[in-house]
Amino acid sequence: MSDQAALKKQVEELLPNWRSWYPSLFHAAEDLGVIRAQVCDPDSLNLSNRHASVQSQALQEFREKWGGHEKLNND
């Protein structure tokens, strides 16, 4: 069973006619307490921070393959 199907099942058990009250499954689940927001570090939302290690690894592989040890892209 997918996560969405499981979520829908939980919501329907709590409020069978949720569609008449809510515009989406997400809003129903949120109000019923099935899902909750989690506080996270704002920096973790920045894609450049999330993918910095991938970019660093790619640059290292490039340097090893092509012998470029000079600065690339001002890094």
Among the ranges given (5-9, 26-30, 59-63), the one the predictor scored with the smallest mean pLDDT: 59-63
Percent of the chain scored above 70 by pLDDT? 88
Band (pLDDT 50/70/90 cuts) for residue 68 is low
Nearest 5 degrees, angle CA 37-CA 44-CA 8? 30
What is the 8-class DSSP label of residue 66? Answer: H
User: Where are the domains positioned within the chain?
Assistant: 3-32, 43-75
Residue 6: closest CA among 27, 22, 24, 29 = 29
pTM of the model: 0.50
Residues 59 and 75 sit within 8 Å (Cβ to Cβ)? yes
In the chain, what's the furthest Cα-to-Cα distance?
A: 64
